[in-house]
Structure 1
Amino acid sequence: MWGGDDSSRLYALHRFVDVYPTITKPERHVRFNEKMWTTTFVLIIYFAMTNVMLYGLSGQALDLFSGFRSIMAGASGTIMHLGIGPIVTGSIIMQLFAGAKIIRLDLSNSEDKAMYQGVQKLLVLIMIPIESIPQTYGFLDPQEFLIDSYGLGWANFVIVAQLFAGSYLVFLLDELVSKWGIGSGISLFIAAGVAQSTFVGTLSPLPATSGVPYSLQNPPSG
């Protein structure tokens, strides 16, 4: 399919794009109530994932980007730790390449557009370990029992594997919403993350400083 001067070099990746798992696009009109149920189902899964903690993660692990987690639709210390970061990063890189004419694709052409989207999906798969490995080896320390049982290398691999699974599932959910739901999955997850943090932060009865009794100097964090 790659014809050198006649087509983009990205067509050399068509074998990988063809076998990449994807959400099937509907071949019929999707009714509004179906879109609503799909979007609601995806939201339930999203909120559930934000409460699934990473197995074997140390309680002393740091999160230097905790203030940005809601914007990136992530949740610190969970399988949603990376949020939509890999998806957004992969999309930005492809847009930069296309805008700078580094890749020669005519997005008004259906075949070129399909190849563009397919390569973008492959790039997301690459970005997940690129983002998860530095954070795991830098800040997300595994628990001692995991290190004692499997060694530091395998303990870190367990953390990375969970981050990969969570991020890939988010990517599939984004595609599911885009094809079968309402709007964009990325926008939906950002809105849900911000709404969740705002709601919890406003109504939380926990004291601002944990372990210290309530007082005027230590009111409820909400």
Structure 2
Amino acid sequence: MAEEKKSKLYALKPLIERWPAITKPEGHVTFRTKIFWTLLCLILYFILTNVMIFGLKSNVIDLFAQYRFIMAGASGSIMHLGIGPIVTASIILQLFVGAKIINLDLTESEDKAIYQGTQKILVVVMIIVEAIPQIFGYLQPTEGLINLLGGNTALANSLIVIQLFVGAMLVFFMDELISKWGIGSGISLFIAAGVSRAIFTGIFNWLPVRGGELSMTNPPAGVIPGTYYLASHLTLREIVEGGYQTLFFGNARIGYTNSIVAL
């Protein structure tokens, strides 16, 4: 009878047992070791967020660019998907188990192992599900990449999907590495890192809003350098006649949104 009550997910057990995974520590992990792996993954994460997708057009359409840091992603980079697939897979599986659609008792070690293994497989599925739609109107290959591949647009799109897949898998393995050998959760660490970077660059970024040379219509993007630049180039009359609105509330027309009020 006990065998009949087992979840159908046990059919995945042979695959789960062969699935690549980070080895668990056999004994106590020292604090120095935890710090080492946590910092290593954090540094690697920041490096990967600056590795742009090869062959991608510069005018990337990302409807959620301003909020992508919440999912520890970086628009246009191989970390574009961030922790999205991991979180989605976890939520789906938790809902199915909680609703008893999947018959698993997480208090049992064997069922818990099947649950965790299934989640890893589902993460890979969600990476593919989330990566493929990106090439339809959002992340498009350059003409140079298409020509390099003999004019095969499908192959160029596939190359972009592969890069997204590799980036998301690296996030997944780093999350698992931190969970087993580091401090806390990799997901929480990457979210905190993404938010911290967004705050830091939003305050101190001295680069122009739209690139190129600095001007009154293309000020520094950061709050502090942007406010200083605008205030030092505006006359008192210009400030009174409306310049204060740009200083305090920003100016969407020129793309300057990191204003004093935003800070």
Q: TM above 0.5, one fold?
A: yes
Q: How many equivalent pairs are there?
A: 219
The corresponding residue for 1:143 is 142
Whole-angstrom CA distance in 1 between matches of 2:101 and 2:187: 26
Partner of 1:69, secondary structure, is helix
| Separation of aligned partners in 1, 2:125 and 2:139 | 20
Q: Conserved in 1, the CA contact under 8 Å of 2:105 and 2:112?
A: yes
Higher relative contact order (CA 8 A, sep 6+): 1
Which deviates further from its counterpart, 143-152 or 9-18?
143-152
Q: Provide the C-alpha distance between the structure 1 equivalents of 2:209 and 2:194, rounded to a whole number of angstroms.
A: 21
Q: Kindly provide the CA deviation profile for residues 143-189 of structure 1, in whole angstroms up to 9, marking residues without a partner as x.
A: 00111232110000000000000100110000000000000000000
- Distance in 2 between residues matched to 1:218 and 1:20, nearest whole Å: 51
Cα deviation 1:182-218 (Å, max 9, x = unaligned): 0000000000011111111110112334346333x65
Q: How does 1:94-105 map to 2 (within 5 A)?
A: 94-105=93-104
1:176 paired with 2:177, answer yes
Radius of gyration: which is bigger? 2
TM-score calculated relative to the size of structure 1: 0.95
SS in 1 for 2:171: helix
* Aligned-pair Cα RMSD in Å: 1.4
Counterpart mapping for 1:107-126 below 5 A:
107-126=106-125
Partner residue in 2 for 1:198: 199
Residue in structure 2 matched with residue 162 of structure 1 by the alignment? 163
Structure 1 portions without partners, runs of 5+: none
Pick which of 108-117 and 199-208 moved more.
Answer: 199-208
Q: State the secondary structure of the residue aligned to 1:15.
A: helix
- Cα deviation code 1:39-64 (max 9, x no counterpart): 00010110010011100001122111
Aligned-residue offset at 1:221: 1.4
| Aligned partner of residue 208 in structure 1, secondary structure | coil
TM-score, length basis structure 2: 0.80
Query: What pairs with 1:2-17 in structure 2 (closer than 5 Å)?
Result: 3=3, 5-17=4-16
* Per-residue CA distance 1:57-115 (angstroms, 9 max, x = gap): 01122111102211000001110000000000000000000110001111000000010
- What SS does the aligned partner of 1:102 have? coil
Aligned counterpart, 2:261: none
Deviation at 1:219, TM superposition (A): 3.5
Deviations 1:1-54 (A, max 9, x none): x94x22011001111111110001111000111111110001011001001110
CA–CA distance in structure 1, aligned partners of residues 83 and 218 of structure 2? 34
State, as a whole percentage, how many aligned pairs show the same letter: 58
2:224 equivalent to 1:210: no
Aligned residue in 1 for 2:221: 221
Q: Name the CA distance, whole Å, in 2 between partners of 1:27 and 1:163.
A: 33
Contact residue 202 and residue 221 of structure 2 kept, 8 A: yes
Q: Which amino acid aligns with 2:91?
A: I
Q: Distance in 2 between matches of 1:40 and 1:213?
A: 36
Q: Which amino acid aligns with 2:70?
A: I
Number of the residue aligned with 1:185? 186
Task: For 2:196 and 2:214, locate their aligned partners in 1 and report how far apart those are by CA, in whole Å.
Answer: 28
Give the Cα–Cα distance (whole angstroms) in 2 for the partners of residues 7 and 193 of structure 1: 41
